[in-house]
Amino acid sequence: MAERLDSAGLTFRQDYFGDAAGWAALVCLLRDIFGIDIGPLQQLGGPDPTSMPFGWFDAEGELAANISAFALPFVLNGRIVHAAGLQSGAVRPPWRGHGLYRDVTVKALDWCERQGFEAVILYTDKPSLYEPYGFHAIPLHRYEGAAPAPSSSAAPARPLLPTNADDLALLQSLLKIRSPVSTSLAVTVNAAMFLINTQLDPDIRISFLAEREAAIAWKMDEAGRFSLLDVVAAEIPPLAVILTGLEIAPASVEVLFRPDKLSWEGAPQQLEGGTRLMLRGLGDAAPDFPAMLSPMAEF
């Protein structure tokens, strides 16, 4: 049975990202509960302008419970889905068991329906929490294989630092015109998530292939495994061009999305454990081929 809502001493609010105190309260909540700091997003262009937060605040302005919805169109099996994403779902420990999270979740889903979204997606490490709301998990797959032969037609890339004003402006312009990295499963717009993820993981490198007008999000581990996280470009360059431009010769490659636009084939490997991608709407839809959303789109 659903928990009865007990909000004594709290005030419900929504659409508070334009209020400095409201935004600061969310930053504090996510830092306290998850140990992540989304504060730098303000210097990277701010929250997604389509965001609609729902939360319960105490008398001192502290956020007790929150969930945020935002527009997140994505490609699924070649079709653009008019979808929303849910993120930043959290409840402070003293307020758990009061029905607050169910309340903000229902309010957010009702808002998504009123906005006409045909689907809603979210990431969670607690899938059973969202199944009662009609969400189902989508199996996720990365691809791994040998590095392709070098390309003879790739100029060297240069690093991009999102904290540099000129590099940030370049990234923002590329994110506005980006193509989905896959026809199977990929976001079409994710500027805020891409930019904040560059700050949340210090191992992520962003490089710019000028002649291809492409920003590459990647990692390289000590064993020489190259991980391709995302490609931001109007036209996705082949993997061979990317590696040549980065001036690396990896021992192996993993691509964290279906590489159908990279002129390279790898073997799909199902992701086990960790967070799950869940979908509400579209029946029991799933990618026709093994796929996953780029980690730069995680939220």
Tens digit of each residue's pLDDT (9 = 90 or more) over 237-285: 999 999 999 999 999 999 999 999 999 999 999 998 788 999 999 998 9
pLDDT band at 103 (very low <50, low <70, confident <90, very high): very high
pLDDT band at 1 (very low <50, low <70, confident <90, very high): very low
Alpha-carbon distance values, 188 to 83, 196, 215 (Å): 11, 17, 15
Domain that holds residue 30: 5-138+273-289
CB atoms within 10 A of CB 11: 12
10 and 133 share one domain: yes
64 and 48 share one domain: yes
* Mean pLDDT taken over the chain: 95
Q: Are 266 and 144 in contact (CB under 8 A)?
A: yes
The Cα–Cα gap between 141 and 122 comes to 17
Helix (H) or strand (E) holding 252: strand 252-255
Count the domains in the chain: 2
Structure pTM? 0.93
173 and 248 share one domain: yes
Asked if residue 178 belongs to a domain, the reply is: yes
183 and 237 share one domain: yes
Q: What is the pLDDT of residue 202?
A: 93
The dihedral sign for the CA sequence 161, 144, 297, 126? negative
Tens digit of each residue's pLDDT (9 = 90 or more) over 198-228: 999 999 999 999 999 999 999 999 999 999 9
Asked if residue 295 belongs to a domain, the reply is: no
165 and 241 share one domain: yes
Residue 166: CATH number of its domain: 3.40.630
Q: What is the pLDDT of residue 3?
A: 60
224 and 109 share one domain: no
Tens digit of each residue's pLDDT (9 = 90 or more) over 69-89: 999 999 999 999 999 999 999
Q: Are 260 and 289 in contact (CB under 8 A)?
A: yes
What is the b/e burial string over 115-130, where b = at least 16 CB atoms within 10 angstroms of the residue's CB? eebebbbbbbeeeeeb
Asked if residue 95 belongs to a domain, the reply is: yes
Residue type at position 251: A
φ and ψ of 146, to 5 deg: -80, 155
89 and 155 share one domain: no
Tens digit of each residue's pLDDT (9 = 90 or more) over 29-66: 999 999 999 999 999 999 999 999 999 999 999 999 99
Asked if residue 297 belongs to a domain, the reply is: no
Residue 89: CATH number of its domain: 3.40.630.30
The Cα–Cα gap between 23 and 94 comes to 21
What is the b/e burial string over 278-299, where b = at least 16 CB atoms within 10 angstroms of the residue's CB? bbbbbeeebbeebbbbbbbbbb
Beta bridge partners of 267: 144
